[in-house]
Amino acid sequence: MRIPPNMTLTSPDLPDVPPPAELAAVIERFSALARRRREVADALPDAPVGVSYDPDRFAAGAPLLADVGPADLAADFLRAASLLLPRLAELFPPLSKDAAVLAQALAMGPRLAAPLLTALATGGEADIEALASEMGVAPGALVFCAREALAATLRARARTLSPMADDVLWQKPSCPVCGGPPDCGMLKEQREPSEFLVAKSGRLYLHCALCGHQWRFPRLKCVACGEGEQEKLDVLFPAGRDRERIHACRSCGHYLIVLNRAETSRDTDLDAAPASLIHLDAAAQARGFAPICDTPWNHLEGAQPE
């Protein structure tokens, strides 16, 4: 994907302008995929909680699904794949053949679900390539398709577990439910115990790229490395869209896209929002920053540091 040629970041408060028109088709495909992922998750049965909540272990950094293994997720993953892969093939025609072959392979060989989930969790390239060869699909297509089915599976689990995720105990850069990375953040107002006190600058909530859970994180801190020195943290936004922000860290060189929804009642679909902000990914990468979370849409060609 090639970056918009004239993306600039400035500070003036100018009239709102849309993202580059050439990205509209890409944004719509990923937005439709996010909606279908939610529909598939809603179609999955409520899973038994299956976790014993230990506040001390949770506070130490163990997500709620830390002890839930591939075998526990395999049945729901297979169901999610059967519902999601046909729609994914419609949205991304170049993947249609691989998606169809993968759907058939999983239907005929459900035993493949557990090793595939294990390979996704460990990031083992050799295991992915071996499974891709066995199924007859391209490794990249296998990762993309399987990860989407896994995301729907974990989203169904988060439906039950999210109320157990205590933001006071957690406040870590990975998801308290599934341990996934954040693909974006949102600043929103949060009332204090007194109804008269509202955090006007907004509290930062991170959105999990896998299960969709949102959790609170310290606002003035790098999500990637924990840097807290303000002179090393940049907040950048495009002219005319000051509610779309890049939080960038000069210590570790990473960035996170953040939407500012403080002092506004506007609803935001955080499942679909990250893909609609590709122009910010392009601008951040053109300045030499790398994304905290790799996504299918933020691998940008031509994003050379300025």
Question: Following DSSP, what letter does each residue of 178-240 receive, concatenated?
Answer: T-PPEEEEEEE--B-SSTT-B-TT-EEEEEETTT--EEEE-TTS-TTT----GGGEEEE-BTT
Predicted pLDDT of residue 263: 67
- Give the residue among 263, 288, 284, 265 at the shortest CA–CA distance from 274: 284
d(CA 291, CA 285): 8
Domain with CATH 3.90.1670.10 in the chain: 167-291
Whether the per-residue pLDDT at 305 is higher than 60: the answer is no
Task: Say how far apart CA 40 and CA 77 lie, in whole Å.
Answer: 10
- Percent pLDDT > 90 in the chain is 62
Please list the alpha-helical segments (H only) found in the chain: 24-43, 55-59, 70-91, 96-108, 113-122, 125-135, 139-161, 278-286
Query: Is residue 107 predicted with pLDDT exceeding 80?
Result: yes
Query: What's phi and psi for 258, nearest 5 deg?
Result: -130, 135
For residue range 8-42, what is the model confidence (pLDDT) as tens digits? Answer: 454 433 234 456 677 788 889 999 999 999 999 99
Overall pTM > 0.75: yes
Question: 167-291 — its CATH code?
Answer: 3.90.1670.10
What is the tens place of the pLDDT at every residue in 135-184?
999 999 999 999 999 999 999 999 989 998 988 889 899 999 999 999 99
| Cα–Cα distance for residue pair 215/123, rounded to 1 Å | 25
pLDDT in tens, 232-287: 999 888 777 778 889 999 999 999 999 988 766 667 889 998 998 888 898 899 89
pLDDT of residue 293: 94
Residue 34 and residue 271 in contact, taking contact as beta carbons nearer than 8 Å: yes
| Alpha-carbon distances, residue 179 vs 84, 155, 158, 203 (angstroms) | 23, 12, 11, 21
Query: Average pLDDT in the 46-63 region?
Result: 83
Average pLDDT over residues 122-127: 90
Q: Is the pLDDT of residue 200 over 60?
A: no
Residue 6 has pLDDT above 60, yes or no: no
Q: Which residue, chain included where needed, has tokens 């979370």? A: 293
Q: What is the pLDDT of residue 227?
A: 94
Q: What is the mean pLDDT of the chain?
A: 85
